[in-house]
Amino acid sequence: MPRYRLTVEYDGGPYKGFQAQDGLPTVQGELERAIHAFCGEAVRVHAAGRTDTGVHAGGQVIHIDLEKAWRAAVVMNAVNAHLFPAQVSILACDEVDEDFHARFSATGRRYQYRILNRPGPAALERGRVWHVKAPLDAAAMHAAAQVLVGLLDFTTFRDAACQAKSPLKTLDVAEATRHGDIVEVRFAARSFLHRQVRSMVGSLVEVGRGNWTSADLAAALDARDRAACGPVAPASGLSLTDVDY
């Protein structure tokens, strides 16, 4: 049975997350509907990660198994034709070995969070950024973010509904940079806890506003208490940008 790896881009705004839910619009639901329309098969889509409601992706990876062998270009073009006008697009498709798994074969995931930091709200990028009016010190955010790098207990930055067996994760990269009115915060790790990225961003914004110091962020991390987390950043600014294999 041929297995295909597909790179997927989507605007998470219209969807109740990636994972299929009965009666609700989801990215997985759109993909499975389009694949069925293309080949007539009821296919289960396996993804590198299940993004939350409103979270976007520029480099989500999925895999599917089809009964019939098709050229990868045919799969990509046909699925895209049936996805329209959904806000989901296949960017690449390759046939892979049967031991490839979009989730379990992944060695790293990278997320980007974009903050629009100016007095006026977004018009052109509404739904794709978090609008923060107060001036942010991106350099202070970057310096504080280094507190979060390494093998650490991220209980403070873990959603209460997280189903991971352990709060221990190794964060490889934590960066904050300014590009004009946009402050970009980037994280890389093998895997993340539920809402870990949005929780860390919300606390880093407290540093950027001058409400917290790096020491305050470190104390919040060391508390291993969800109540010590700063406000959780909204989903709109978050994107899964890459998955490494």
Average confidence (pLDDT) over 17-23: 94
The pTM for the full model equals 0.95
Answer yes or no: 159 catalytic: no
How much of the chain exceeds pLDDT 70, in percent?
Answer: 100
Catalytic annotation, pick one of 11, 22, 52, 244: 52
* pLDDT band at residue 101 using 50, 70 and 90 as cut-offs: very high
Tell me the CATH class for 3-96: alpha beta
Which residues have C-beta within 8 Å of that of residue 89, sequence separation ≥ 6? 8, 9, 10, 80, 83
- The residues facing 108 across adjacent strands are 244
Average predicted confidence (pLDDT) for the chain: 97
Q: What is the pLDDT of residues 72-86, one digit of tens each?
A: 999 999 999 999 999
Domain ranges of the chain: 3-96, 108-244
Sort strands 56-65 and 46-47 into parallel, antiparallel or unpaired.
antiparallel
pLDDT in tens, 204-243: 999 999 999 999 999 999 999 999 999 999 999 999 999 9
Lookup: tokens for 144: 């504080």
CB 13 within 8 A of CB 26: no
Domain 108-244 in CATH 3.30.70.660: yes
- Residue 90 structure tokens: 């296949």
Could you report the per-residue pLDDT of 168-205, keeping only the tens digit for each? 999 999 999 999 999 999 999 999 999 999 999 999 99
Amino acid in the structure at residue 143? A
- Token representation of residue 50: 């299940």
